[in-house]
Every structure is written in C-alpha cells, then in structure tokens.
Amino acid sequence: MNEWGRVKKVIVGIANRARYVPDDIGVREVNYADRPVDQPIPTGEYSQSIIDEANEDLEDLANIYKQFGAEVVRPVEGDVEHYLYCPRDNILTVHNKVIASPMTLNCRKNESKFICQVTDDLTEEIYSIEDYNMNCIMNKNILATNNYKPMWDAANVLRAGKDLLYLVSSTGNLAGANQLEKLLGLEYKVHIIKDVYSFSHLDSTIALLKPGVALINPSRIKDKESLPPAMRKWDLLRCPEPIEMGYASPEPMMSMWTGMNCVSLDEQTIVVQSTQTNLIKFLETNRFTVIPVSMRHQRSLSGGPHCCTVELERDYNMEHYFDAGY
C-alpha cells in the first residue's frame, strides 16, 4: 500500500455523536501538555450544528471518491468516548493487513471496531499512569509517552510500498515503531523520523504525493537532514503558509498547519481543504490536479481530508521507494 495509488475502496468518517476527549491523565499528557493540570479543557459533546455541518462536508468528500470510481464505506455509528470522524487515527492498511493501532489514549481504544473489521487487533492493552511521562507538562521537549509498552496512533505512519515513515511523537513511541516492524516482518522497513514535531500525527508535517515527491511543512522539516537517510533523494515541495480557516469550538483543536492535510486519489489528483487557496495554486503550479472540498470544522474536530479517510484498497506496487533513487 502507498499514499498515492489510485483509490479503489475507502472509509470516510462520520461526525455522529462526536464528543471532546474526556479529561483523564492520558488526555492531559498527550493533548494538553502545554497547559497546567488545573486549567480546564473542553469536554462534553460538540454542538449539533458542528456535527451536522461536519457530516454534510464528509458526505461531499464521500461523493468525490464515488465520482472518482471508488467504493465508499462508512463506520457504524457506535457508543464511543470521542468520535468516528478520523478513521485514519485508528486504522493502518498495509498490503493485505488492516491493523487497529494501540492508540495512545485509552478513551479511543474501542473506535476501531466501529470503523471496520480488523485483522490485527492491538488495542486491548489499557494504559496506566506509569505509561505516561508526567514531566511533559509545560515542557514540549519531553514526549508524553514512555517506552514501557508500544503506544502509537495509525496516523503517525505514512506508507510507500515496503517503506513506512513513522513519526516519534507524543502519539507514537519507539516501542510502537519496533512493534509495527515486527508485525509486518522483514520484507518491510519502518523509517523513524523524530525531533521534528512532538505533539501528534505525521500528516500535517509530510504528505507523500507520488514516488519521489513529498509535500513538507517547512516550519518542521527544515532541510533534508530532518528526514531518514533513505528518503533524502526525494524532491521536497515546501507547503506555503496555511490560510486561517476558523473554528467553532471553544478553542482550536489543531494548529493552522492542519491546512496542509490533503489526500491523494491517484498520483496526479489531490483533495485539499477549499480555504487553502495558496496550497491549491501551489500544487496546480506543480502540475497536480486539485479537487477542493469544504471542511468547515477541520480545526474544531482535528481532522482534514487525510485524517477523515483511510484507504482499504489502492493500486500499488510492492517495492521500496525510499532507497530506489527517485
């Protein structure tokens, strides 16, 4: 599997019954380490207007895939503590495996069973206080997760055939990278990227657009030395400054750089949030076809077109792309 082959079958999330993550030790360490523990965080249900408008946008996104000839499936609405809006957070597809990642937040561990049937369920382990690093509070240089056991979100991973790019951050520890590599076997190589973004997932930092070409967040990827050695032959397109898209939640749940969260339908066609006109023009200048989609609550619900989808089938070749001289 890769990030750019023509999509044949895809899961598109739903916003039904979306809630803010509950206030517990894991959420404090992973999502809110930038504030004192006695400072309140948003909790409870999202407003119905946010949910309704998000579902309208997700339906438009699903229709884009259908018009492109892909089969679209949706999660089954279920009683989850957070939401089913971002299936990419939970599910990783690699060749013939559909993996439910052992997510870093206990409150999100049952989401995968409502998203799709998985072949490898790694989510049963419940974390306790020693699995989190209390010293990360007010210190962004310390990651929230220790290495006592594997903890990683599927959205910490990008795929390029037999090569996988794995971000070490507060939502993915080194033990998780080792677990993934053992699960996939010797045929695959998990390339570690670290010290570029400590907070969360990889897809607002790098997008693999086609063989040998990646879109990068220049505020995090300063130069090719920030990347694993095997990937340094790739052409790096520096994402232009994102455009403010606003938010309807009490505070934004993601940085402005969620604006570069885009998803490829094939090697030439990319879906981009419609407010990001700078990025759209930039990609078109680089000879990509761009399909804009409205994601009105991207910063409120923490997910753009890439986060809200996960491919079950793409056209792909089983080869190593990072060291192939692209």
Which positions are annotated as active-site residues? 153, 201, 307
Please tell me whether residue 12 adopts helix, strand or coil conformation: strand
Q: Coil, strand or helix: which one is 174?
A: helix
Tokens of 24: 């517990």
CA distances from 127 to 49, 123, 148 (A): 34, 10, 10
Which of 213, 216, 231, 193 lies closest to 322, judged by CA? Answer: 231
The CA distances from residue 61 to 198, 203, 298, in Å, are: 29, 18, 13
C-alpha span between 81 and 275 (Å, rounded)? 30
List the alpha helices (DSSP H) in 68-154.
112-115
Could you give the 3-state DSSP secondary structure of residue 148?
coil
* One-letter identity of residue 257: W
Pair type for strands 91-94 and 120-121: unpaired
C-alpha 261/C-alpha 187 separation (Å) is: 29
Q: Where are the alpha helices (DSSP H) in the chain?
A: 25-30, 48-67, 112-115, 174-184, 277-285, 298-301
Strand partners, 210: 213
Instruction: Quote the CA–CA distance of 212 and 234 in Å, as a whole number.
Output: 4
Q: Residue 290 to residues 110, 258, 297: CA-CA distances in angstroms?
A: 34, 17, 20
Q: How far apart are CA 33 and CA 55, in angstroms?
A: 30
Contacts of 25 (CB under 8 A, 6+ apart): 129, 132
